Amino acid sequence: MDHYIVVKIVDQVSDVLWNKLSSKYLTVPDHDRFLDTAVKFQERWDFPNAFGCTDGRHNHTKCPIKAGSLFYNYRQFFSVVLQGVAES
């Protein structure tokens, strides 16, 4: 499959997902929501003044053509990093 076609498909799918789901799942937090989330973090994790956390992982992949060492990580395999953000 041509690289351009894959990029175009990913772009279109991302646009549809954003348009359909962002208003429900990616709302812009207000001051009260930040405070509420910070209180929940304090209660659950005993970590003050926090309203979110990040995490990531290396997902195994085959080395892309002509990528050299670009996708080779410190764990000695090829990977793509997936990162996420969450509130409590």
Where along the chain do its domains lie? 1-49, 52-88
CA 82 to centroid of chain Cα atoms = 6
Strands 79-86 and 53-60: antiparallel
Instruction: Say what the pLDDT of residue 7 is.
Output: 85
Each residue of 35-52: pLDDT tens digit?
998 898 899 989 888 878
pLDDT band, very low/low/confident/very high, at 2 (cuts 50, 70, 90):
low
Q: Which residues of 42-55 are buried (b: 16+ CB within 10 A; e: fewer)?
A: eeeeeeeeebeeee
The answer to whether the pTM exceeds 0.75 is no
